[in-house]
Structure 1
Amino acid sequence: MEHQRDRDVEGRARNARPRDELGRPLPRGAEGVPTMPDDLSVTPEEALEQAQRLLDEGRPFHAHEVLEAAWKAAPEPERELWRGLAQLAVGLTHARRGNADGARRLLERAAVRLAGYAGHPPYRIDVRGIVEFVDAGGIGTPRLRS
């Protein structure tokens, strides 16, 4: 029997399957780690604090979810900044999953998006430091703020 895709009350596709610490879906009924709610609402300051904590804990997939929520809520002039930060976290997720090529591509895309904000980075985001982190190979944990 084919399983129908999970949907929210408005009919949007949602995946209710549990996930591992790197965001990979697990079989239904397996015990996963908590993920961020689909309707997460955070201020830019909260997003940066939560994302940094999650990155420091080795949970870049979850940091991506927080940064993606900020991206979706950001005003137009900041959208590419938040999109770049979300891509940074996804790139780190791919690196942790062993996908070096995918990680490199996403980290490079993130650096290009972020570089446009280097002159006047909002929220004390360390754009230059993040770009240097990517240029150095993206090993370790980046600092999001200076």
Structure 2
Amino acid sequence: MRETRDRDQEGRARNARPRDGLGRPLPYGTPGVERQPEGLVRTPRETVTEAQRLLGAGMPFHAHEVFEDAWKSGPEAERALWKGLAQLAVGLTHAARGNSTGGARLLLRGAAQIEGYVAAAPAGSAAARTAPTYEIDVPALIGWARELAARVAESGGAVDAAALAPTLRRP
């Protein structure tokens, strides 16, 4: 048993246990997946590229961390987009861990969050946003999230995160 708490360089409590590809803590000394650096400011293109790489590798928890950095560091007009994408990644994480209820809820919450970024939103409507979407295929992501939410709610079992990873950019 560890007697002291793990701390980061600033002295804040930070769990230093290794993590698996879905972000679950592993025993100390076990090889794990390298974590994403926190607070990294990337361009939107870098954010989407890195998140897509992680999603395709079956690591949606880590993709969520990339989106969270964009959400916290980006302009106010884009925060709902990045927050919604982070929620989609966390929803996929929960679904892959077998938490079908939490996964379905987060997938639907994320879809609702990004809905305002659909290019077809009527001008002047509450759903219309002025932020760019960086070629993110928002309508396809909303459809993916709703379909996966229904699937995991019905099946109740864990899903394969890599096999069901969404494609973020328009073809």
TM-score, with structure 1 as normaliser: 0.91
Letter in 1 for 2:66: V
After TM superposition, where is structure 1 displaced by more than 6 Å over at least 4 residues in a row? Answer: none
Q: Percent identity?
A: 58
Pick the structure with greater CA Rg.
2
Unaligned runs of 5+ in 2: 120-128, 152-163
Length, aligned pairs only: 146
Counterpart in the other structure of 2:27: 27
2:15 is aligned with 1:15: yes
Deviation at residue 21 of structure 1 after TM alignment: 1.1
For 2:36 and 2:16, locate their aligned partners in 1 and report how far apart those are by CA, in whole Å: 12
For 1:141 and 1:20, locate their aligned partners in 2 and report how far apart those are by CA, in whole Å: 17
Deviation at residue 5 of structure 1 after TM alignment: 2.8
2:141 is aligned with 1:130: yes
Deviation at residue 13 of structure 1 after TM alignment: 2.6
Letter in 1 for 2:165: T
For 1:43 and 1:13, locate their aligned partners in 2 and report how far apart those are by CA, in whole Å: 29
2:88 is aligned with 1:77: no
Counterpart in the other structure of 1:114: 114
Could you say what the CA RMSD is over the residues aligned between the two structures, in angstroms?
1.7
Deviation at residue 54 of structure 1 after TM alignment: 1.1
1:87-122 Cα deviation digits (max 9, x unpaired): 110100111101111100000110010001113652
For 2:51 and 2:6, locate their aligned partners in 1 and report how far apart those are by CA, in whole Å: 27
- Please identify, of 106-115 and 21-30, the stretch whose mean Cα deviation from structure 2 is larger: 21-30
Unaligned runs of 5+ in 1: none
Letter in 2 for 1:26: L
Counterpart in the other structure of 2:61: 61
Q: Report 1 or 2 for greater relative contact order, CA contacts < 8 Å, sequence distance ≥ 6.
A: 2
Deviation at residue 2 of structure 1 after TM alignment: 5.6
Counterpart in the other structure of 1:143: 167
Letter in 1 for 2:65: E
